[in-house]
Structure 1
Amino acid sequence: MNGVSILSVGIDIGTSTTSMVLSRIQMRNTASGFSVPQVCIVGSEIIYKSEIYTTPLVDGILIDTEKIRAILEKEYDKAGITPSMIQTGAVIITGESARKQNASLVTQTLSSFAGDFVVATAGPDLESVIAAKGAGAQQYSKEHSCVVANLDIGGGTTNIAVFHCGELCAKGCWDIGGRLVQVDRQKKVTYLSPRLPAIMKAAGVSLELGRTADWQELDRLCRVMAQVLEDTLKFTASKLCEEMRTAGSSRLTLSRPVEYITFSGGVADCVYSPQEDWFRFGDIGPILAHSIRESSLMRDYQVIPPKETIRATVVGAGSYTTSVSGSTITYTDESVFPVKNLPAFLLGRETEHQCLTGNDRNLREETEWFLEQNDCDNLLFCIQDIDSLSYRQLNLLADALCHTADSALGKEQTVMVLCRGDFAKALGQAMQRRLLDRKLVCIDSISVQFGDYIDIGRPLMNGMAVPVVVKTLLYG
């Protein structure tokens, strides 16, 4: 079999809107007949887009889980699919929704829609990358050999990702969005985000719940928000930029200037298509878009149209969260798949190289600490610094990993190993001889970071590769 396609779902529960897309992802063995197989994702096609719904809330701090479930039941039925047909994808809880008190409960409740292999993710940096890919910024940067920044401006946050020649070079998230202030039909203020006081102080305005919104005050407020985005892209980050940076997000640091920008998210629709009714959506989104159009963002960069605006994140979730392992992998029992929410345990650089000398003391101590700190029964041993091994080093590393697994993990737990380098098959075979009847999975060609969680799907292409999602689970 030279090629295969899998069905992927993307579900985005954002501050303002909730939506879903279905994509068909194509995978193929791109190696010649006389070479080691190399399975790659060669394309994706969106085959269904849901309606865009206002994210249902019970009140200001709780997502209405049952209404979300009803939305997905309706859209699954319209698309003619069942959860068992889904093979990969992601549920993304984004923006201020990720900080709702029941965000983690929502993902548990939606597990029945997950099929075998759909993940729940809500990390600001990851959202930045997913939205930028869905908007087409990465592809444009690659095709035109340039630096492109995508600003995904939603209801609660603005996610920024920068690509140079298709490679991610910076990412970050700021609490700037169209629903930080909400109004009713009488233009009275009904909601003020807890993140708003710093912006109000900088703008010299004082908004109050129940008071009629003053357009001039809101305009000054939004101009300050636009200024934060300007300063962020121009490396003149002010104290306010730092104050508005989303908790857990990276600082945006670039080695070369941005040349092109594109906008996605709900506010982007108003940037590209100005609204005459400032309060049409019951928030400040159209006013923020107006401030952005009048800012230096539109003068100092070449603005390019995105492939997607309001659907960028959900398209990215359905089409760009999945990667494929290397084709030289080892697993002893296919029944262990799919694997969900496995914490990535990154061996320290010194620890990795100590294992190659036969010293596994640090490895055992770090493993016990990681299991205790994460309150988990299993983990994924992640070897990220070793690129190549001699036969002797391979066997010493296998010894260290097997001894540690036997002492730290329950006998019923599958031993899971991930290598960034391309040696998982050889390492896995060496470990298999030592582990005897114990289940083992050893995959390669995947990079992870501290704090990541991993999902591994069922083997594809006659067992040559597995689909992998690297994610960050972050609530609050």
Structure 2
Amino acid sequence: MKKVHLFSLDFGSTTSCAMLVEAYLEKNQVTGKMYFENPCIVYKSEPVFTPVENDKVNEIKIGQYLQQWLSESRVEKEQLFSGGAIFTGLTAKKANVEQIASQVDKFIGPTIANTIDDPNLESWLAYLGNFSYSTFGDQAVLNLDIGGGTTNPAIGIGKSVLSTGCYAIGARHFQFEPGSYLLTALSESAQETLQQLNLNYQIGDTVLTGDIEKICDFYVAQLKRIKLGQSACQHLIEVPLEVKTPVDKVLLSGGVGEVYYDFLRSGELPPTTYFGDLGVDLVKAILRSNLLQHQEILPKESGRATVYGMALFNTDISGSTVFLDHHTELPLNKIPIIGSIRMDTEQSPTFLEQLKQLLMTQIKVGGALFLDWNTASVTELRGFGKLLRELINEIVSDTSFNIQKPLIFFVPDDVALTFGNYLTQWREWTFPIFIIDEVPHKDASFVNIGRKQHHVVPVSFHGIHQMRGLYA
């Protein structure tokens, strides 16, 4: 077994944190697929307030946090197998978030995949990061990841995520002078919520305690509607959650979830507007409601579910026979996913035209294409390789395309090396080609591929359209 390090960062609306997980690369003796064995959290930072000033994230302070977290975790960036940084909620909408993401890239290294404002991915990661799968058996679990800017719900059974969503329900839409209800900031969504409740407050006003309760009860009522599969208020909906099965259990994660579970453990809540927002009052509203009913489990990583999920579940591991030509250098980041196609042994005219159009698009941008089949004999693999080679040659010859970026193909089964040799005529064909096997197809816009280590490569997806039906 080979030990690897997985590093993740979560830059949320209210707080930011880092986590380092150690695991072992292992092959499942039944399926033959690679997986992370015995994951163990070896470092988790204390949460810090995300340094936001004048609608921008403070780059100097972020750099200081990155330096501190790497130092405390006692890991060098060259030792990292994979990881990710996710920017969520209100932070993802700040004017310089792209520059901050680039700063993380330079500081941590290209092994880290940056994800900005990817609500379905955030919901999926928080669900997987929040609880032990064996706890609820075949019960349908709704995880509500409540942070500063959004609530990211996900419904799942065991490891299978059935549906994800995102709503503008969070603690920092209303911001206060800590220790009081003196308003210091209002988001656009908060202003619409005030209109919905017929309340009239401006920055500089002190909100009455009764109106604070009214606002928080309104948010919790929307969460109950989401749980029941009913529509929330329109101004709160970013990605609607599909609820096709009755929810058996509800769990919380995110900053609000952490305050809630800390209260269940200790019986104490932080002081009024301790975080300068509605976090504590939202917990009080949840306690007043029957949203969670009888809570039977206290999740271990409730406040850090997303960063834990990012470390452990955002990375897929390739098979051990990837095909990489000599001209392609890793890592490869933000590669567009062109689409997917099921290989047709009969090669109908419709199939050939569809495949040709996908390849033409792929050649233009150097993207990734999923090739799928149930099973393939050696003869069929040889035929598929020849077909792709002939179509690519035809496209290049007809249109004078100059292939400079690698063509990436994801294939099922442990056949990447065999298929690559057939496609390139045992490397006599010199186009840049990269073939990766045994990575599940995800409905996403982009893929990041890390450096090859221990004969495998880490793969992560972002720009998630919907995480429905995926397994960890």
User: What number of residue pairs does the alignment pair up?
Assistant: 451
Q: Which blocks of at least 5 consecutive residues in structure 1 are unaligned? A: none
Offset, 1:192: 0.7
**Residue number in structure 2 paired with 1:255:** 244
- Tell me, yes or no, if the aligned pair for 2:338 and 2:358 is still in contact at 8 Å: no
**Residue number in structure 2 paired with 1:278:** 272
Distance 2:346 2:235 in 1: 43
**Residue number in structure 2 paired with 1:438:** 431
Distance 2:184 2:296 in 1: 34
Deviations 1:362-387 (CA, angstroms, capped at 9, x unpaired): 33334445676xxxx41112224x32
* SS class of match (1:195): helix
Which segment is superposed worse, 100-109 or 321-330? 321-330
TM-score normalized by structure 2? 0.87
TM-score normalized by structure 1? 0.87
Match of 2:289 among 295, 320, 331: 295
Aligned residue runs from structure 1 range 437-476, under 5 A: 437-461=430-454, 463=455, 465-472=456-463
* SS class of match (1:298): coil
- Tell me, yes or no, if the aligned pair for 2:28 and 2:34 is still in contact at 8 Å: yes
- Tell me, yes or no, if the aligned pair for 1:124 and 1:159 is still in contact at 8 Å: yes
| Identity percentage of aligned residues | 23
Tell me the amino acid that sits aligned with residue 96 of structure 2: N
Deviations 1:422-455 (CA, angstroms, capped at 9, x unpaired): 5434422211217623342211222334543112
Match of 1:205 among 192, 199, 210: 199
Which segment is superposed worse, 401-410 or 264-273? 401-410
* SS class of match (2:311): helix
Distance 2:326 2:291 in 1: 54
Distance 1:304 1:37 in 2: 34
* SS class of match (2:145): strand
Aligned pair in 2 of structure 1 residues 116, 275: CA closer, same or farther (>3 Å)?
same
Distance 1:168 1:422 in 2: 26
**Is 1:10 aligned to residue 17 of structure 2?**
no
**Residue number in structure 2 paired with 1:268:** 257
**Residue number in structure 1 paired with 2:469:** none
- Tell me, yes or no, if the aligned pair for 1:154 and 1:267 is still in contact at 8 Å: yes
Offset, 1:333: 3.6
Aligned residue runs from structure 1 range 169-180, under 5 A: 169-180=162-173
**Is 1:41 aligned to residue 36 of structure 2?**
yes
* SS class of match (1:326): coil
Offset, 1:391: 5.2
Q: Which runs of 4+ in 1 moved over 6 A?
A: none
Q: RMSD of the alignment, in Å?
A: 2.7
Deviations 1:178-218 (CA, angstroms, capped at 9, x unpaired): 11100114532111111123322332322211111211112
Aligned residue runs from structure 1 range 57-206, under 5 A: 57-59=52-54, 61-122=55-116, 123-136=118-131, 138=133, 140-141=135-136, 144-185=137-178, 187-206=181-200
* SS class of match (2:122): helix
Tell me the amino acid that sits aligned with residue 267 of structure 1: V
**Is 1:24 aligned to residue 18 of structure 2?**
no
Distance 1:165 1:78 in 2: 34
**Residue number in structure 1 paired with 2:325:** 332
Distance 2:221 2:201 in 1: 19
Aligned pair in 2 of structure 1 residues 37, 225: CA closer, same or farther (>3 Å)?
closer
Match of 2:227 among 203, 219, 233: 233
Match of 2:215 among 188, 213, 221: 221
Distance 2:99 2:8 in 1: 18
Deviations 1:124-176 (CA, angstroms, capped at 9, x unpaired): 010011112221264534xx232211111100011111111321111111110
Offset, 1:109: 1.6
Distance 1:390 1:422 in 2: 12
**Residue number in structure 2 paired with 1:394:** 381
- Tell me, yes or no, if the aligned pair for 1:137 and 1:150 is still in contact at 8 Å: no
